[in-house]
Amino acid sequence: MAEVYDVIVIGGGQSGLACAYYLRRTKLNYLILDGQEKCGGAWQKTWDSLRLFSPADQSSLPGWLMPKNEDGFPPKDHVINYLCKYEERYEFPVKRPVKVENIIKESGIFKIKTSTGDFSAKTVISATGTWKAPFIPKIKGIDIFLGKQIHSAHYKNTDELKNKNVLIVGEGNSGAQILAEISKVANTSWATLKDPEYLPDDVDGRVIFNVATAKYKAEKEGKKFNPEAYNLGNIVMVPTVKEARERGVLKTKGSFTELTESGVKWKDGTKEDFDFIIWCTGFHYATNHLENIVKIDDRGKVKTKGTKAQNSPGLWLVGYGGWTGYASATLIGVGRSARATVKEITEYLKE
């Protein structure tokens, strides 16, 4: 008979590894199934120049601090190396590449159908994040534009953009950072639904995490949380964005009403031609693999209490952002969600 694991974690990125850290301290039999070919999670897929918002010691998973890097906030390769060494350090049981295609539940046991065969488990932790679910709004004319358009999830670098006319869409952190980089080599315009809002220059990921923690503690204690000093969705002034501000390129043209064959039609009726459009419009949740065991909304969100799925006993979701735990989509924040999840799973399996 096939082995029935106590826990199967779906996803071997930062959230899955944080869960594994606490699972290894129990007597539970667990396994991580990772769809990536190599370690490092979604960080492998990000654009080349991406950096963390916080210094290394404020960007660590539970148990082992990220080694410091010499040049400010850690770059992508530093983070990937840390995640790989973290996995190796604790000798987590990881199988990859394993693509989870479907999950069903029979007689209280989850049957996980994958690209490499079937696995069985008493409980499941879904830790697949958002990167595989990029969101592009359905805008009039999007199918007739003859230039190239990609989501920020698929942007790597400026190699094919030199001297091109490029439109960056989206007023968040990815939009600001990608605009800052591309504007050095191309003719850029920035489209936003509203005016971008910026955090003060001295605010980085440490402050953002501390605000999220204060909110978390207040709600746990049943207290009202005073409006935080900083909107957590505002743009963090990392060095590249500060430099772009000095060059005067952090200027939005507002929103456009439709795409044309050659570009866009702005809200004021004027038209502008572009070779490339880069959609920095966020993500939904990569939870399609759960559709047969729990109800998922059109964004991929599942009804949860903390990280526990309310309508599917034995299922937990970790690392998807606010709805599964404050700051749970960050390296430093996911440990809190992971610890609480493993505690709940241990109690669930005893029962």
Provide the token pair at 127: 């830790």
pLDDT tens string, the chain, 351 residues long: the values are 579 999 999 999 999 999 999 999 999 999 999 999 999 999 999 999 998 888 888 889 999 999 998 777 899 999 999 999 999 999 999 999 999 999 999 999 999 999 999 999 999 999 999 999 999 999 999 999 999 999 999 999 999 999 999 999 999 999 999 999 999 999 999 999 999 988 888 776 666 666 666 666 666 667 665 545 556 568 888 889 999 999 999 999 999 999 999 999 999 999 999 999 999 999 999 999 999 999 999 999 999 999 999 999 999 999 998 889 877 888 988 999 999 999 999 999 998
**Sequence ranges of the chain with CATH classification 3.50.50.60:** 4-133+283-350, 148-198+235-279
Whether CATH 3.40.50.970 fits 148-198+235-279? no
| Cα–Cα distance, 350 to 346 (Å, whole number) | 6
For residue range 253-284, list pLDDT tens digits in order. 999 999 999 999 999 999 999 999 999 999 99
Q: 4-133+283-350 has which fold?
A: FAD/NAD(P)-binding domain (3.50.50)
Give residue 208's pLDDT.
62
Mean pLDDT (the chain, rounded):
92
3-state secondary structure the chain: CCCEEEEEEECCCHHHHHHHHHHCCCCCCEEEECCCCCCCHHHHHCCCCCECCCCHHHCCCCCCCCCCCCCCCCEHHHHHHHHHHHHHHCCCCEECCCCEEEEEEECCEEEEEECCEEEEEEEEEECCCCCCCECCCCCCCCCCCCCEEEEHHHCCCCCCCCCCEEEEECCCHHHHHHHHHHCCCCEEEEECCCCCCECCCCCCHHHHHHHHHHHHHHHHCCCCCCCCCCCCCCECCCHHHHHHHHHCCCCCCCCEEEECCCEEEECCCCEEECCEEEECCCECCCCHHHCCCCCECCCCCECEECCEECCCCCEEECCCCHHHCCCCCCCCCHHHHHHHHHHHHHHHHHC
